Chains A and B, each alone.
Chain A
């Protein structure tokens, strides 16, 4: 069963604004990853944060992880039209390599 839930389900912002997406999960994890998917395409790995990390940065991306609340957030700063895509969080179980994906957030950045 899907254990990651994202909110909002859809987000529409103006170019230059920041976009924040949240993800919650239910069980213990080794790490949490964020992926981007352009319409009808495969997944692009954005960033991985381990269970013992609280925050991580990569370019315009900032990810936080709160294991006590079983939640994560992805912040995209200074958004661009090219950031328009679906964003998914994925968690792995503490055992095994399987990823469980959240429902995703559809981000639309208007120019």
Chain B
């Protein structure tokens, strides 16, 4: 199956700093990638849809200036949490939608655990 990687897998940062999380599709190209957030023992919440070469589409209630998304190539999308605060601590998961497959085939990364002190 298609593989999506995320880097880093875990990150701890100080409050006020910015953190960048990478999402890569390793063996397929993805014009669309999705970013999700998951709180402990909770479900995944879609944050934004990342489209290669264009601006990301954010879900209601998600601050686009806080969570910067860049999808510069068909295999890489990045999420930057700017001026991070403890409430941004969460598990961030991305997924990629292969160009060549149907619209209902998303492949998920292993997630990134962010802890803001």
A40 near B91 with CB under 8 A, answer yes
Residues in B with CB closer than 8 Å to A92 are 103-104
Residues in B with CB closer than 8 Å to A41 are 110-111
Residues in B with CB closer than 8 Å to A31 are 104
Given contacts A42-B111, A97-B97, A98-B34, contact A88 B104 (CB under 8 A): no
Residues in B with CB closer than 8 Å to A98 are 34, 46, 49
B42 near A43 with CB under 8 A, answer no
Which residue of chain A lies nearest to B111 when distances are taken between CB atoms in the complex?
A: A42
* Binary per-residue interface labels of chain A (92-103) against chain B in the complex, 1 for a CB within 8 Å, 0 otherwise: 100011111111
A21 at the interface (CB under 8 A from B): no
B109 near A88 with CB under 8 A, answer no
B43 near A104 with CB under 8 A, answer yes
A102 near B113 with CB under 8 A, answer no
Residues in A with CB closer than 8 Å to B93 are 42-43
A40 near B111 with CB under 8 A, answer yes
Q: Which of A30, A40, A101 contacts B104 (CB 8 A)?
A: A30
B42 near A103 with CB under 8 A, answer yes
Residues in A with CB closer than 8 Å to B42 are 103-104
B104 near A97 with CB under 8 A, answer yes
Which residue of chain A lies nearest to B93 when distances are taken between CB atoms in the complex?
A: A42
B4-61 interface (Cβ within 8 A of A): 6, 32, 34, 36, 41-46, 49
Residues in B with CB closer than 8 Å to A48 are 104
Residues in A with CB closer than 8 Å to B97 are 97
A25 to chain B, nearest CB (A): 13
A2 near B109 with CB under 8 A, answer no
B79 to chain A, nearest CB (A): 15
Q: A35-B108, A43-B95, A101-B46 are in contact. List 10 more A-B contacts (CB 8 A).
A: A2-B43, A40-B113, A42-B109, A43-B44, A45-B108, A92-B103, A97-B97, A99-B34, A103-B43, A106-B41
Q: Which residues of A contact B (CB under 8 A)?
A: 2, 4, 30-31, 33, 35, 40-45, 48, 88, 92, 96-104, 106
* 26 A-B contacts (beta carbon < 8 Å): A2-B45, A4-B43, A30-B103, A31-B104, A33-B104, A35-B108, A40-B113, A42-B6, A42-B109, A42-B110, A42-B111, A48-B104, A88-B43, A88-B44, A97-B49, A97-B97, A97-B103, A98-B34, A98-B46, A99-B34, A99-B46, A99-B106, A101-B45, A101-B46, A103-B42, A106-B41
